[in-house]
């Protein structure tokens, strides 16, 4: 298997056809690929019919019925781990699917999941796919208000939640947060939720609204073990997943069944070089695309044992990750640079005291991995014997796009290296010209369609076109900058738009600003990312306010609470600087570029400020910088 960077489009289609042939279809496709980036109407495997859960479960039953499909490692290490074989998972999915049907869910309906990381979450997603319902997972760290917005946008009819979710020493009362979200209904803005299913986990007290709320354990008892897999068209939707963009409103990326399955299943096998008895641990939450593609679908499509971890890296101690690796004899560990850096600070003695002999491959995802973290991961976790695959991709791309193949591609720290076969990345300069020199830098675009590209932003195809296909003609624009070296290796340098990457989570600066501006004391705000030693990027907010505060700390606290309430704890600013004015152009546009240079301590490159409407504010901001 080689990673070729240049393929003709007929070769590309032949290749994807071959890959698709390794999956199980109820009916083969008529055309491999149609549509293009100009009209933004890409489709794959049209005419084909399938059910992704038959590919994840049924087709393994003959050989792997007794093999572990899912290992659940609870938040608390004293609680026993749980196991599901492929046979058991097949039954659990069928029963959950029947539960959804009983509650009126049909093909094409949207089901929302707002849960902690327990097996019912994964089972629930597959149950949707079994009957042709569309799943949309909202990460449990988002606030009721964010949930409400996503419920409105997705028109979800049913929501599955927990009485509470464990995370380290905290319990998040998810069901009451669902209640809060549903109480935001007004005549003008009303969710379509008819049913709430509560999975018991923490035994938190919950209110039960008669005729709307039901306990999972009560309903599931009467659900049959058999559920036929719905016959789905290749281009039917599989899921919607929300992610932040450059405007305030999150985007619901829509993925369709066949193309997603083909690339995710295949890239999992190739990148990680998976063997039959491997045990794969992806530490991401299922609320993010990584948890969809490489915790759930990728491993199951390949009949691989996957681990689901409910907890966090440093609970109850910073040795937890390594304990889990030993306990379940993990062969592949796939995590984020921020997790590595957060464990790095506790010293090498901790990982060094675990031999972790089972490990074969390490993976990194979510943000650029700095060289120091790469070396630490390689030496102290991988004991210098495990290749690290630095996988670059996005919610929109569905699966991994640029990455070494474990043990095959030469490794270069902090480089995502080469595109996967069938993927054609290119660099584009400021003017939109394709950069032809090998050694170069530019904005990263993808030249030709690939199967797992999101098809649209749910309910807003115009925004989909605008965001990804209008910056550069006939190209998909990723929003990332990249460099290419003499080996043709790519190094992703980070976002070039108004999106910041905090602990591997994408947060739109406009979204945070809108939230901050909801605070009654705030007049205006500007949010930029700054280099943060653990999170990669932190959130720095400049705020002007309409009152005088003797104790600015009080206002800062209040602003953080506002953001937590509107978006969730993940978007809380790390630094808030209250300023008298924000630098603006004569036309009133806030100059975030200047603010970025200030927080990066790159004062030489601030540029000419004399043409600003209010140049005097720049010095004041620099003086007051935290």
Contacts with ligand WT7, residue ranges (CB under 6 A): 243, 288-290, 365-368, 390-395, 416, 478-480, 492, 494-495, 501, 504, 506
Closer Cβ to ligand WT7, 3 or 195, answer by number = 3
Token code pair at residue 157: 């009819």
CA-to-CA separations, 259 to 52, 394, 455, in angstroms, rounded: 11, 15, 10
CA 413 to chain CA centroid, nearest Å = 23
Side-chain half-sphere exposure of 204, counting CA atoms within 13 A? 21
Closer Cβ to ligand WT7, 342 or 395, answer by number = 395
- The distance of closest approach from Cβ of residue 94 to ligand WT7 in the complex, given in angstroms and rounded to an integer, is 30
- The distance of closest approach from Cβ of residue 253 to ligand WT7 in the complex, given in angstroms and rounded to an integer, is 8
Closer Cβ to ligand WT7, 397 or 577, answer by number = 397
End-to-end Cα distance, the chain = 51
- The distance of closest approach from Cβ of residue 287 to ligand WT7 in the complex, given in angstroms and rounded to an integer, is 11
Q: Is 343 left (phi over 0), alpha (psi -120 to 50) or beta?
A: alpha
Closer Cβ to ligand WT7, 395 or 519, answer by number = 395
Closer Cβ to ligand WT7, 97 or 492, answer by number = 492
Closer Cβ to ligand WT7, 157 or 415, answer by number = 415
Task: Give the strand pairing for 361-365 and 388-391.
Answer: parallel
Give the single-character DSSP code of 45: E
Closer Cβ to ligand WT7, 84 or 377, answer by number = 377
CA-to-CA separations, 88 to 160, 287, 572, in angstroms, rounded: 21, 24, 41
Place of tokens 């014997």: 385
- The distance of closest approach from Cβ of residue 394 to ligand WT7 in the complex, given in angstroms and rounded to an integer, is 4
Give the single-character DSSP code of 405: P
Given 3-state DSSP classes, what are the helix, strand and coil percentages for the chain, each rounded to the nearest 5? 30, 25, 45
- The distance of closest approach from Cβ of residue 367 to ligand WT7 in the complex, given in angstroms and rounded to an integer, is 5
In whole angstroms, give the CA distance from residue 463 to residue 422: 27
Closer Cβ to ligand WT7, 173 or 479, answer by number = 479
Closer Cβ to ligand WT7, 48 or 368, answer by number = 368
- The distance of closest approach from Cβ of residue 448 to ligand WT7 in the complex, given in angstroms and rounded to an integer, is 19
Closer Cβ to ligand WT7, 3 or 391, answer by number = 391
- Three-state SS for 16? helix
Q: Is 384 left (phi over 0), alpha (psi -120 to 50) or beta?
A: left
- The distance of closest approach from Cβ of residue 561 to ligand WT7 in the complex, given in angstroms and rounded to an integer, is 25
Give the single-character DSSP code of 229: P
- The distance of closest approach from Cβ of residue 291 to ligand WT7 in the complex, given in angstroms and rounded to an integer, is 9
Closer Cβ to ligand WT7, 95 or 269, answer by number = 269
- For every residue of 488-528, which 3-state class applies, written as one string? CCEEEEEECCCEEEECCEEEEHHHHHHHHHCCCCEEEEEEE
In whole angstroms, give the CA distance from residue 168 to residue 119: 18
In whole angstroms, give the CA distance from residue 450 to residue 13: 9
Ranges of beta strands (E only) in 292-387 are 305-309, 332-335, 361-365
Q: Which residue is nearest to ligand WT7 (CB)?
A: 395
126, 111 contact by CB (below 8 A): no
Closer Cβ to ligand WT7, 416 or 543, answer by number = 416
Side-chain half-sphere exposure of 166, counting CA atoms within 13 A? 19
DSSP β-bridge partners for residue 172: 165
CB atoms within 10 A of CB 245: 22
- The distance of closest approach from Cβ of residue 430 to ligand WT7 in the complex, given in angstroms and rounded to an integer, is 19
Closer Cβ to ligand WT7, 85 or 338, answer by number = 338
Place of tokens 């300069």: 429
- The distance of closest approach from Cβ of residue 290 to ligand WT7 in the complex, given in angstroms and rounded to an integer, is 5
- The distance of closest approach from Cβ of residue 205 to ligand WT7 in the complex, given in angstroms and rounded to an integer, is 34
- The distance of closest approach from Cβ of residue 75 to ligand WT7 in the complex, given in angstroms and rounded to an integer, is 22
Closer Cβ to ligand WT7, 422 or 504, answer by number = 504
- The distance of closest approach from Cβ of residue 445 to ligand WT7 in the complex, given in angstroms and rounded to an integer, is 12
Q: Give just the sign of the alpha carbon dihedral 122, 127, 129, 135.
A: negative
- The distance of closest approach from Cβ of residue 241 to ligand WT7 in the complex, given in angstroms and rounded to an integer, is 9
| Distinct helix (H) and strand (E) counts, the chain | 20, 30
539, 505 contact by CB (below 8 A): no
Question: Nearest-CA neighbor of 414 among 361, 350, 482, 346?
Answer: 482
Those residues whose C-beta lies under 8 Å from the C-beta of residue 385, and which sit 6 or more positions away, are none
């Amino acid at each position: 298997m080689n990673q070729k960077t240049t393929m003709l489009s007929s070769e590309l289609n032949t290749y994807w056809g071959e890959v698709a042939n390794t999956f199980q279809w109820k009916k083969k496709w008529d055309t491999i690929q149609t549509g293009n980036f100009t009209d933004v109407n890409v489709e794959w495997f049209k005419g084909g019919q399938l059910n992704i859960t038959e590919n994840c479960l049924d087709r393994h039953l003959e050989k792997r019925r007794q093999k572990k499909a899912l290992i659940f490692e609870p938040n608390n290490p004293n609680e026993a781990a749980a196991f599901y074989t492929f046979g058991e998972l097949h039954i659990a999915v069928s029963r959950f699917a029947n539960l959804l049907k009983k509650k009126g869910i049909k093909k094409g309906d949207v089901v929302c999941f707002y849960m902690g990381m327990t097996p019912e979450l994964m089972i629930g997603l597959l149950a949707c796919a079994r009957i042709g319902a569309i799943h949309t997972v909202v990460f449990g760290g988002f606030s009721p208000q964010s949930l409400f917005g996503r419920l409105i946008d997705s028109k979800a009819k049913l929501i599955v939640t927990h009485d509470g979710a464990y995370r380290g020493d905290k319990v998040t009362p998810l069901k009451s947060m669902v209640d809060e979200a549903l109480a935001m209904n007004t005549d003008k803005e009303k969710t379509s939720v008819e049913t709430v299913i509560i999975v018991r986990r923490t035994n938190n007290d919950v209110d039960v609204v008669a005729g709307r709320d039901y306990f999972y354990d009560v309903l599931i008892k009467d659900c049959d073990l058999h559920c036929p897999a719905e016959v789905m068209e290749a281009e039917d939707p599989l899921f919607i997943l929300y992610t932040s963009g450059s405007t305030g409103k999150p985007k619901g990326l829509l993925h369709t069944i066949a193309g997603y399955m083909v690339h995710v299943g295949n890239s999992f096998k190739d990148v990680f070089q998976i063997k039959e008895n491997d045990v794969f641990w992806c530490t991401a939450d299922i609320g993010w695309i990584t948890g969809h593609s490489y915790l759930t679908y990728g491993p199951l499509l390949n009949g691989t044992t996957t681990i689901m971890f409910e907890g966090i890296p440093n609970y109850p101690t910073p040795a937890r990750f390594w304990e889990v690796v030993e306990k379940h004899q993990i062969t592949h560990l796939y995590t984020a640079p921020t997790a590595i850096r957060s464990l790095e600070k506790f010293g090498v003695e901790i990982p060094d005291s675990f031999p972790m002999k089972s490990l074969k491959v390490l993976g990194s995802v979510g943000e650029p991995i700095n060289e120091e973290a790469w070396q630490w991961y390689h030496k102290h976790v991988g004991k210098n014997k495990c290749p690290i695959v630095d996988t670059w991709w996005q919610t929109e791309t569905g699966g991994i796009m640029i990455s070494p193949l474990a043990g095959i591609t030469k490794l270069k720290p902090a480089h995502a290296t080469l595109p996967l076969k069938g993927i054609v990345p290119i660099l584009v300069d400021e003017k939109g010209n394709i950069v032809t020199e090998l050694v170069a830098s530019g904005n990263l675009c993808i030249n030709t369609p690939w199967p797992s590209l999101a098809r649209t932003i749910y309910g807003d195809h115009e925004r989909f076109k605008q965001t990804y296909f209008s910056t550069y003609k006939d190209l998909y624009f990723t929003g990332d900058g990249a460099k290419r070296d003499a080996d043709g290796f790519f190094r992703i340098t980070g976002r070039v738009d108004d999106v910041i990457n905090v602990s591997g989570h994408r947060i739109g600066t406009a979204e945070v600003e809108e939230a901050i501006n909801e605070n009654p004391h705030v007049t205006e705000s500007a949010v930029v990312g700054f280099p943060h030693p653990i999170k990669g990027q932190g959130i720095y907010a400049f705020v002007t306010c309409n009152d005088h505060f003797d104790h600015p700390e009080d206002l800062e606290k209040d602003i953080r609470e506002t953001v937590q309430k509107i978006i969730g704890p993940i978007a809380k600013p790390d630094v808030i600087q209250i300023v008298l004015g924000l630098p603006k152009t004569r036309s009133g546009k806030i100059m975030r570029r200047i603010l970025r240079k200030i927080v990066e301590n790159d004062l030489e490159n601030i540029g000419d400020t004399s043409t600003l409407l209010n140049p005097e504010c720049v010095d004041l901001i620099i003086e007051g910088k935290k």
